[in-house]
Amino acid sequence: MNKATKVGIIICDRYRTCAGGKCLRAMRNCEGAFSVYKESGAELVGFTTCNGCPGGNVEYAGEEMVKNGAQVVHLATGLLVGYPPCPYIDTFRDFMQHRYGVKVVLGTHPIPRKYLELHTKLGTWEDPSWNERLAPTMADEATRVAYD
């Protein structure tokens, strides 16, 4: 096995009490946005919230994660599937990539079925720009159900 990729995870502050179970399970099982680490595995080097809108902690957390060796920072699936989805997610990604030279991935665990169904009914993700944002977290039906 190759040396594990060091990752940081930033979650939406709305879920600040989240224990990270789905994100950590997906990282351990290389599912969802972590599927790209099947060969190398992934090692968590940081886990925190954005600190609420407009994401005041993103600047400092990103810096800390990079100092701790993060090669990739994942913006958690909750930023995509919460209602409403995070209006700053693209800004967070662009800022960290440019400021710290770190790859930023949108998503962690696979999108649970219940969120896919809800956002489909609401039309939240109809704009074509969502296809790219959601791609790392899309999964087959059985996996979506397993993450409900």
Per-residue pLDDT tens for 32-85?
999 999 999 999 999 999 999 999 999 999 999 999 999 999 999 999 999 999
Query: pTM for the whole thing?
Result: 0.95
Residue 118 lies in a domain: no
pLDDT value, residue 15: 94
pLDDT digits (tens, 9 = 90+) for 92-106: 999 999 999 999 999
CATH code for the domain of 139: 3.40.50
| Residue 117 placed within a domain | no
Q: How many distinct structural domains can be found in the chain? A: 1
Residue 66 belongs to some domain of the structure: yes
Query: Could you tell me the residue range of the domain that residue 74 belongs to?
Result: 5-111+129-146
Q: Decide if 120 is inside a domain.
A: no
Other C-beta atoms within 10 Å of 141: how many? Answer: 9
